[in-house]
A and B are shown apart, each in its own frame.
Chain A
Amino acid sequence: MTMRGICKYFPGVRALEKVDFTLRAGEVHALVGENGAGKSTLIKVLTGVYGKDAGEITMEGKAISPSSPLEAMKCGISTVYQEVNLCPNLTVAENIFIGREPKKAGRIDWKTINRRAAELLATLNLNIDVTKTLDSYSVAVQQMIAIARAVDVDAKVLILDEPTSSLDEEETQRLFDVVRKLKAQGLGIVFVSHFLDQIYELCDQVTVLRNGELIGEYEVAALPRVELISKMIGKELGDIQSMGKNENFGTDEILIEADGISAFGRIQDFDLQIHKGEVVGFAGLLGSGRTETAELLSGVAKPEKGTLRMSGKDVHFASPLDAMQHKIGFCPEDRKIQGIIGDLTVRENIIIGLQAKKGMWNHISMKEQEKIADQYIKLLQIKVSSPEQLIRNLSGGNQQKAIIARWLVTQPDLLILDEPTRGIDIGTKTEIQKMVIQLAREQHMSIIFISSEIDEMTRTCTRLVVLRDRRKVAELTGADINSDKVMSAIAGGV
């Protein structure tokens, strides 16, 4: 399959400019680039979600131009999207077969559907009850189901858009096994990922995009990692490497103290002291209780046992707003659902936190709003055409920055960032990490930083709390903060 000279324009934005992409049968081809580089757009053109403005796509020598996902599927192009795109209310089996259900005597043959679904999932080493609804399974399992669906439609090209962003290590390996198996069967696989390790582990070729333009196609094995990164972000590497570690340990003053807080299904007996101006990391696998603990600290959920103290006094947060009044800000994990309000402008999204804190009836003048918005857009280098742009039209990284700006405006003492760098590009990731360190050093803000990427945490945090199975299992400081120690703590070998 080849794509030649693909162009795509949106009002005011050049999303793709003369991009070429070639995929051979039996190859795993990585597509990388920063956010806004045009990866998603390229994929959406390929799968018929967007029409292209110029260029041509050929499949086995024949020109195709899919105008809907269904047509793309008929041409043999299947996609598994970053967010699982299946229906939660249908059964697992049905999610795999809907739209092409086997029929018997004019009616849908449920027996065959359930049997074939179970067989298909078994080839992916997944043995689950296919007659249960999709929403009774974890995201990782849902992802595998999505792949099963994509593969089963006689695909020649399989596109995996950030497939591993919600999987843990073991699940990722299982996914890779599946991908290798499919590759051996002669499928061409497009692999979009931010995780360079995974690209080096899995992929044969890599195509780099930047700002909607093609930078080049390379053989993965022949391209050193540093070079790949510099091609992606268009900067020399010194910048990233020189960042070094955060050496700032905060002051002696204790800002908030948790004493044995527990809540069923969230966390058990959690103790923690956070000093002013320090960056504390919560490490652990998905479901280890990282987010749940953050929610207890920020009033989203209430602890059933234990106490929270701020500056020596017991506090109970009745709501997130209450926590906000105590100068605690919580930036939740899923920015699309819990963070941005897509149909409001960037300015409104930034101001909304302050407005909530001040109360509905305290008017903030337009002039002041504009001033604050401009200030933070500049401070965090949010790329917008104007503060009045709708936030949903920004790239993921810039949306994230806007959300962080929202909390900074309320001037919290404690800022909780849950996966602030998930799904955004390396350049912006580095910027956010730098910003976190800066806030702690210059404004003595305390920050809880939650991330699945251990490297990111070891660079940013001065103290690392390791969680496993909803318990705190270790607390690392200073020289102990390195990938090996953290990994072994997570794995349970401290």
Chain B
Amino acid sequence: MKNLTGIKNRIVGSRYFSFGITLTLFVVLYAVGMMNYRGFLKPQVFCNLLIDNAALIIATIGITFVLLIGGIDISIGSVVALTCMTSAKLLAETGMPALLVILLVLVMGCVFGLIQGWLITEFNMQPFIVTLAGQFFARGMTAIISRDTIVIEDPLYTSLASARIYILPGGFISVGVIIALAALVIGTLVLKFTRFGRNIYALGGNETSAQLMGLPTKRTKISAYVVCGFCSALAGVVYSLIMLSGYPLHAVSMEMDAIASSVIGGTLMTGGVAFLPGTLLGVMIQGIIQTFITFQGTLSAWWTRIIIALLLCLFIVIQAIVSRSRQRLNSEH
């Protein structure tokens, strides 16, 4: 009996346990979908999961960096909207080349993250309140630029938006998905194989320790917010490829979806634990539930939210169990 509990604790305490749960959940949901709806068998349904959520995947990567250091950034959705609006305005009224516009908004996202990160680090402020201010500011600026929709008609944007890249027989993805997957791979590698990435984990594990071990905690902290700002802007670019417009109410509360995806993907809100491929699955699980509801046809789309709410509760409980198992494992040594 004791031995059995020991083995159980070891499995539950393993680093990839939550990733395993997320993966299992994804596979089970997909299998259930395939059994119930013929539509799920089409490769394009899988590809659409990626296409519809490309922006969210990028936003989730950004928030995961910030959650890893034990922070939070709730300005993401607004920055996405501001990015779309700025791009639309610049393209419509200045005739600036599209690539320059993209570069410019990406820099803007970085600067936005830099300012937020600097305020949080330098004055030791609560990230929630700083990024709440950021959220209001970015959303407000978006509406100041224009209260109405500005349509993007730039040829580069429209051709990128309609490009189809076939990856499966009968299944294509968009340019946005390529960008999102590239960001995911880069993010994962940065977290695993660079000092910056490891410092982020260390910082989330124990900030005082990280400082005493001589790690550049301030710089790392600010950088995490810059990464998040950059990802928000990149998500904004991808979002504008989907929407082909700027509008003040674009991507409202996208940050909350991103946080939910990240947590379902195994990120610990207290920092120090996250695995980016897991967070991708977190996004995809939300997508599957949406697909279910679309295929079902009669349910309100709001059921997605309710199911996500239950999943979130489930994952938080799992995390609690995981950390308790780890403690037990520890006391056995």
* Separation of A70 and B218 alpha carbons in the complex (Å): 13
Size category of the binding interface on chain A: 20 to 34
Does the CB pair B198–A94 fall under 8 Å? yes
Q: Does the CB pair A89–B201 fall under 8 Å? A: yes
Per a CB cutoff under 8 Å, which of B194, B210, B212, B333 touches A137? B333
Contact of A85 with B195 at beta-carbon distance under 8 Å, contacts A136-B329, A138-B333 already known: no
Does any Cβ of A come within 8 Å of B306's Cβ? no
Q: In this assembly, does B206 line the interface, its C-beta being within 8 Å of a C-beta of chain A?
A: yes
> Measured between alpha carbons, how far is A147 from B309 in the docked complex, in Å?
45
Asked if A98 CB lies within 8 Å of chain B CBs, one says yes
**A69 within 8 A of partner (CB):** yes
* Cβ contacts under 8 Å, A107 to chain B: 189, 193-194
| Cβ contacts under 8 Å, B206 to chain A | 85-88
Determine whether A149 belongs to the interface, using a CB cutoff of 8 Å to chain B: yes
Q: Are B13 and A136 in contact (CB under 8 A)?
A: yes
A86-B206, A87-B205, A89-B272 in contact; A133/B195 too (CB < 8 A)? no
- Is the C-beta of A61 less than 8 angstroms from some C-beta in chain B? no
Residue of A84, A94, A108, A138 touching B193 (CB-CB under 8 A)? A108
Contact with A along B29-43 (1 / 0, CB 8 A): 000000000000000
The answer, yes or no, to whether B4 is at the interface (CB within 8 Å) is: no
Contact flags A45-79 to B (C-beta < 8 A → 1, else 0)? 00001000000000000000000111001000001
Determine if A195 is an interface residue (Cβ-Cβ < 8 Å).
Answer: no
B225 to chain A: closest CB distance in Å? Answer: 20
Check A90 against B214 for contact (C-beta < 8 Å): no
Residues of B within 8 A of A138 (CB): 330, 333
Q: Kindly provide the distance from the CB of B299 to the nearest chain A CB, expressed in whole angstroms.
A: 40
Decide: B331 and A98 in contact? CB cutoff 8 A. Answer: no
How far apart are the CA atoms of A101 and B201 in the complex, in Å? 14
* B interface majority secondary structure: helix
In the bound complex, CA of A401 to CA of B183 (Å): 55
Q: How many A-B residue pairs have CB under 8 A?
A: 80
Whether the pair A99, B214 counts as a contact (CB closer than 8 A) is yes
A85–B333 CB distance below 8 A = no
Residues of B within 8 A of A90 (CB): 198, 201-202, 205
Mark each residue of chain B from 231 to 254: 1 if its CB lies under 8 Å from any CB of chain A, else 0.
Answer: 000000000000000000000000
Task: Write out the residue numbers on chain A whose beta carbons fall within 8 Å of the beta carbon of B210.
Answer: 87
Structural contact, A89 and B215, CB atoms closer than 8 A: no
Query: B204 on the interface (CB 8 Å rule)?
Result: yes
User: Which B residues from 303 to 333 make CB contacts under 8 A with A?
Assistant: 326, 328-331, 333
B326 is contacted by which of A79, A94, A136, A149 (Cβ under 8 Å)?
A136
CB of A253 closer than 8 Å to a CB of B: no
Interface residues on B, range: 20 to 34
The answer to whether A101 and B329 have CB atoms under 8 Å apart is no
Tell me whether B15 is interfacial, beta carbon within 8 Å: yes
Identity of the chain B residue whose Cβ is nearest the Cβ of A88 in the assembled complex: B205
Given A69-B211, A99-B213, A135-B330 in contact, is the A87-B201 Cβ separation under 8 Å? yes
B213 to chain A, nearest CB (A): 6
Tell me whether A81 is interfacial, beta carbon within 8 Å. Answer: yes
Decide if A265 is an interface residue (CB 8 Å cutoff): yes
- A contact face: mostly helix, strand, loop, or mixed: loop
Q: How far is the CA of A120 from the CA of B213 in the complex (A)?
A: 18
Q: Is B158 located at the chain interface by the 8 A CB criterion?
A: no
Chain A residues, CB < 8 A from B198: 90, 94, 98, 101, 108
Q: Is the Cβ of B15 less than 8 Å from the Cβ of A133?
A: yes
Closest approach, in angstroms, between the C-beta of A265 and any C-beta of chain B? Answer: 7
Residue of B nearest to A109 (CB): B193
Q: For residues 184 through 226 of chain B, which have their beta carbon under 8 Å from a beta carbon of chain A?
A: 189, 192-195, 198-199, 201-202, 204-206, 208-216
Q: Is the CB of A87 within 8 A of B202?
A: yes
The answer for the CA separation of A101 and B214 in the assembled complex, in Å, is 13
User: Are the CB atoms of B202 and A98 closer together than 8 Å?
Assistant: yes
CB-defined contacts of B195 to chain A, threshold 8 Å:
98-99, 101, 108
Determine how close the nearest CB of chain B comes to the CB of A354; give it in whole angstroms.
31
Instruction: Give the chain B neighbours of A84 by CB distance below 8 A.
Output: 209
B273 at interface, CB cutoff 8 A: yes
Q: Which residues of B contact A86 (CB under 8 A)?
A: 206, 209, 213
Inter-chain contacts of A149 with B (CB < 8 A): 213
Q: Taking the complex as formed, is A141 at the interface, i.e. its CB lies under 8 A from any CB of chain B?
A: yes
CB nearest to B273 among chain A residues:
A89
Decide yes or no: A68 and B214 within 8 Å by CB, A108-B195, A133-B15 being known contacts. Answer: yes
Measured between beta carbons, the chain B residues less than 8 angstroms from A141 are: 333
**Do residues A98 and B212 form an inter-chain contact, with CB atoms below 8 A?**
no
Complex: A137 Cα to B13 Cα, angstroms: 13
Given contacts A85-B208, A108-B198, contact A265 B215 (CB under 8 A): no
A98 contacts across to B, CB distance below 8 A: 195, 198-199, 202, 213, 215
CB of A295 to closest CB in B, whole Å: 13
Q: Tell me the complex Cα distance, A149–B192, Å.
A: 20
Residues of A within 8 Å of B13, CB to CB, are 136
Which residues of chain A come closer than 8 Å to B194, judged between CB atoms? 107-108
Query: Roughly how many angstroms separate A136 CA and B189 CA in the complex, as a whole number?
Result: 25
Cα distance, A427 to B199, chains bound together (Å) = 42
Kindly report which residue of chain B lies nearest to residue A132, judged by CB atoms: B15
Q: Are A265 and B328 in contact (CB under 8 A)?
A: yes
CB B196 to nearest CB in A, in angstroms, measures: 10
In the bound assembly, the distance between CA atoms of A79 and B273 in angstroms comes to: 27
Residue among A87, A88, A138, A265 with the highest chain B CB neighbour number at 10 A: A87
Q: Give B55-91 as 1s and 0s: 1 = Cβ < 8 Å from A's Cβ atoms.
A: 0000000000000000000000000000000000000
How distant is A304 from chain B, measured CB to nearest CB, in Å?
14
Q: In the complex the two chains form, is B214's CB within 8 Å of A70's CB?
A: yes
Contacts of A94 in B (CB 8 A): 198
Task: Point out the residues of chain A lying under 8 angstroms from B208, CB to CB.
Answer: 85
Q: Shortest distance in angstroms between B3's beta carbon and chain A's nearest beta carbon?
A: 14
Nearest CB in chain A to that of B193: its residue = A107
Within the assembled complex, what's the spacing in Å between the Cα atoms of A98 and B194?
10
Q: Closest CB of chain B to A134's CB: distance in Å?
A: 8
A88-116: CB near B (< 8 Å → 1, else 0) gives 11100010001101000001100000000
**How far in angstroms is the closest Cβ of chain B from A275?**
32
A residues in contact (CB < 8 Å) with B: 49, 68-70, 73, 79, 81, 84-90, 94, 98-99, 101, 107-108, 133, 135-138, 141, 149, 265, 287
Can you list 27 pairs linking A and B with CB atoms under 8 Å apart? A69-B213, A70-B215, A86-B206, A87-B202, A87-B206, A87-B209, A87-B213, A87-B272, A88-B205, A88-B206, A88-B272, A89-B204, A90-B198, A90-B202, A98-B199, A98-B215, A99-B195, A99-B213, A101-B198, A108-B193, A108-B195, A108-B198, A136-B326, A136-B329, A136-B333, A141-B333, A265-B328
10 further A-B contacts with Cβ under 8 Å, apart from A79-B212, A89-B205, A149-B213, are A73-B214, A87-B202, A88-B205, A88-B206, A98-B198, A99-B199, A107-B189, A108-B192, A135-B330, A136-B326
Footprint of A on B, CB under 8 Å? 13, 15, 189, 192-195, 198-199, 201-202, 204-206, 208-216, 272-273, 326, 328-331, 333
7 closest cross-chain pairs (CB), A and B: A87-B205, A70-B214, A107-B193, A89-B272, A89-B205, A85-B209, A85-B212
